[in-house]
C-alpha cells in the first residue's frame, strides 16, 4: 500500500489538473462545485462555476435569492433539480447551522441532495477530514488497482476506500484518484501511461486488453437515449423560461418541441405538471401560462 500511495501522490503533485474549484477550499465553494459536477462533464462546469459564485458569492446570498434567479444562472448545466436542492441546502444551512456549512459527515448528510459522496468531498476538500469520496472514477481506480476487479460497488467500495485514505492527506488523495480515473483508468484504460500501473493488480494481470472492446460499446450505447427523452424536454422547458418571465403553453411548446401541434398540448401539460410537482415551474390559476417559480423566502 505505501508504494501505491506514493506513486499516485507523487504524480499528482507534478500533474494535477488546474481546475477553478481546486483554487478554493472554503466549504461553500466546494459544495457548489461538487453539486455542479454531479453527472456533468468537467468542461461544462468550468465556465459556469465562477459565474455562479460571482452571482451568489456566499451561502447567505444564495439562500436569499429567488429560486428563479438560481435556475437562470444554472441554465445550461442540465439536471435543474440539482439547482433547486442546492438552493434548499443554502437555506437549511442558514436556518439550522448558523450559515456555516457543517463539517461532520452526519450533519452534511442531512442537507438536501447531499449524499455519501458529496459529504465526503466537502469534509475532505474543505475541512481536511480523513474521509473517502468515492465517485465513479475513484471506485474504478481502487477496485482495479487493489482487487484486480473491473468494478465493485455499494458498501464494499466505500469500505475499501476508507481503509486506504492516507491520514492527513485525504484532500490530495481524493483529488489524485479522481485525476487518475479521469485521465488513465477510464472504461477503456490507458494503463501504459498510468502512474499506478506497477502497483495495479488489474494492469499487471493483462485484463485491460481483454475488456476494452465490450466496455467501449456499453459506454456509447448508454449515452444515446438522452436526445428526445423526457429529461431532455424538461431541460428545454426550464431553459425557455429563463429567457422569458411568462409564456403561454402554445409559445412554450413551440420553443420546446419542433413541429409542436395541438395534439401535443396534453403531453406538454403532463410534463409541466411533473415539473410543477418538483418545484421547477409555476402555472397560473387557469393553467394557461407558465413561469419559473417565485418562491417565498423561508425563515
- Cβ-in-10-Å burial (0-12, 13-18, 19+) of 58 comes to middle
Question: Mind giving me the DSSP string for 110-167?
Answer: TSTT--HHHHHHHHHHHH--S-----HHHHHHHHHHHH--S---HHHHHHHHHHHPPT
SS3 207: helix
Residue 88 annotated in active site: no
Question: Across-strand partners of 234?
Answer: none
Percent helix, percent strand, percent coil in the chain, to nearest 5: 65, 0, 35
For residues 248 and 257, is the Cβ–Cβ distance under 8 A?
A: no
Sign of the C-alpha dihedral computed for residues 192, 198, 202 and 206 taken in this order: positive
Q: How far apart are CA 12 and CA 183, in angstroms?
A: 12
How many other C-beta atoms are found inside a 10 Å radius of the C-beta of residue 53?
20
- Grid coordinates belonging to 107: 450533519
How many other C-beta atoms are found inside a 10 Å radius of the C-beta of residue 262?
8
Instruction: Considering the candidates 34, 209, 274, 276, report the single residue annotated as catalytic.
Output: 34
For residues 142 and 157, is the Cβ–Cβ distance under 8 A?
A: yes
Q: Match 466505500 to its residue by C-alpha cell.
A: 158
Q: How far apart are CA 88 and CA 111, in angstroms?
A: 8
The pairs formed by 249-257 with CB atoms below 8 angstroms and a separation of 24 or more are 249/288, 249/289, 249/290, 252/290, 257/233
Residues designated catalytic: 34
Amino acid at each position: 500500500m505505501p508504494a501505491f500511495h506514493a506513486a499516485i501522490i507523487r504524480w499528482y503533485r507534478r500533474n494535477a489538473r488546474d481546475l477553478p474549484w481546486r483554487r478554493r477550499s472554503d466549504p461553500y465553494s466546494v459544495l457548489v462545485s461538487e453539486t455542479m459536477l454531479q453527472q456533468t462533464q468537467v468542461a461544462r462546469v468550468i465556465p459556469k462555476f465562477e459565474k455562479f459564485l460571482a452571482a451568489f458569492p456566499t451561502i447567505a446570498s444564495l439562500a436569499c435569492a429567488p429560486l428563479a434567479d438560481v435556475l437562470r444562472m444554472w441554465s445550461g448545466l442540465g439536471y435543474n433539480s440539482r439547482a433547486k436542492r442546492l438552493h434548499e441546502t443554502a437555506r437549511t444551512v442558514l436556518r439550522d447551522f448558523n450559515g456555516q456549512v457543517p463539517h461532520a459527515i452526519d450533519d452534511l448528510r442531512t442537507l438536501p441532495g447531499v449524499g455519501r459522496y458529496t459529504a465526503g468531498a466537502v469534509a475532505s476538500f474543505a475541512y481536511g477530514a480523513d474521509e473517502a469520496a468515492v465517485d465513479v472514477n475513484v471506485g474504478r481506480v481502487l477496485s482495479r488497482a487493489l482487487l484486480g476487479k473491473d468494478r465493485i460497488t455499494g458498501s464494499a467500495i466505500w469500505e475499501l476506500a476508507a481503509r486506504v485514505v492516507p491520514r492527513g492527506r485525504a484532500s490530495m488523495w481524493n483529488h489524485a484518484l479522481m485525476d487518475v480515473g479521469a485521465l488513465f483508468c477510464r472504461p477503456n484504460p490507458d494503463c501504459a501511461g498510468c502512474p499506478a500501473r506497477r502497483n495495479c493488480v488489474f494492469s499487471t494481470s493483462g485484463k485491460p486488453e481483454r475488456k476494452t472492446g465490450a466496455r467501449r460499446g456499453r459506454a456509447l450505447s448508454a449515452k444515446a437515449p438522452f436526445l428526445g427523452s423526457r429529461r431532455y424536454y424538461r431541460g428545454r422547458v426550464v431553459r425557455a423560461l429563463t429567457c422569458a418571465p411568462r409564456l403561454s403553453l402554445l409559445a412554450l411548446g413551440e420553443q420546446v418541441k419542433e413541429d409542436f401541434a395541438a395534439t401535443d398540448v396534453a403531453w406538454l401539460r403532463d410534463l409541466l405538471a411533473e415539473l410543477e410537482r418538483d418545484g421547477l415551474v409555476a402555472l397560473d390559476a387557469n393553467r394557461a401560462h407558465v413561469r419559473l417559480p417565485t418562491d417565498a423566502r423561508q425563515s
